[in-house]
Amino acid sequence: MKKQITALCTIFILMISVGFVVAGKNQQQKQDKEFSLPENAKEVAPGVFYLGKSFDKGKFVEGYAFLMKEGEAKKARPSKDSSCYTLLAREAKWKTVEDYIFDPMNNEGLGEIFLRSTFFSSVNKWEIAAGTTSILGYETSGTVDGADFQATDGKNEIMFEDLGETNTIAFTIVWGLFGGPPFARELVEWDMVFNDNYVWADAMYSTSGVMDFENIATHELGHAVGLGDLYNKKCAEQTMFGYATESEIKKRTLESGDITGIQTLY
């Protein structure tokens, strides 16, 4: 009888152990799964996808999608460049103010007031650092039609969308003139999408395992004003560092590299 009980206990422990291994493996598969972009998107740098050209207000403009991935600083690569900021292109910035449209509908039931006020506060951070209040404008009324992967539609849009079980936390699409003489370069449109498959909240007042909306929104707005991602380990504390984790809030505040970058443009 004792031998039978011992054997059953051994089997039970093995079953639990295998269960944990399988669960861990499935979680890893979830985190490694890539967000599926349209066929026209071509990766030109880590997390950066070229979307092609569009005709906008009498000019041909180009589009890029910037994907924010879940991960830690250990995934970053070493670099001799210690400037801790990158520009989408020299002098590629906003020359006219265009307001944005925000659809706050989300799976977590986060309130409109919280989302709108937090987003506007994040916009202000970049404009204050730039020394101007006329970069991205204000929220205006309108209908959000979805992210513009193939052509501009004359609207800057923010939305939540279920991207599935992927390690893409959010992405921002930026359209503009990035080539030619620097004085002729400019940004003309942006769209921002937050992955509604994550649990979003204010991490300052939530338990672990949530993605902080202000943290990610502040980073994504860096792309909207003309800055690129950073993957240098030395720049891991900057807002524009290209990885983020659950419960992280350090990207809420702009650091020296972020401030230098925005001031270089504006």
Count CB atoms within 10 A of the CB of residue 175: 23
pLDDT tens readout for residues 106-150: 999 999 999 999 999 999 999 999 999 889 999 999 999 999 999
Residue 66 and residue 50 in contact, taking contact as beta carbons nearer than 8 Å: no
Question: Quick one: pLDDT at residue 32?
Answer: 52
Tokens of 24: 């861990």
In degrees rounded to 5, what are phi and psi of residue 222? -60, -35
In single-letter form, the type of residue at position 216 comes to I
> How far, in Å, are 23, 64, 220 from residue 192 at the CA level?
32, 12, 7
**Neighbour-count burial of 28, counting CB atoms closer than 10 A to its CB (0-12 exposed, 13-18 middle, 19+ buried):** exposed
Most distant pair of Cα atoms in the chain: their distance = 87
pTM: 0.86
DSSP calls for 90-108: TT---SS---EEE----TT
User: How far apart (Å, rounded) are the C-alpha atoms in residues 47 and 43?
Assistant: 7
Dig out the tokens for 70 from the structure.
């879940």
What pLDDT shows up at residue 201? 96
pLDDT-flagged residues of the chain (< 70): 1-33, 73-82
Identity of the residue numbered 217: A
Please give the pLDDT value at position 98.
96
DSSP string, 203-220: GGGS-SS-EEHHHHHHHH
With beta carbons less than 8 A apart as the criterion, state whether 25 and 17 touch. Answer: no
- List the beta bridge partners of residue 50: 42, 64
pLDDT at 174: 98
Q: At what angle do helices 213-225 and 256-265 cross, to 10 degrees?
A: 30
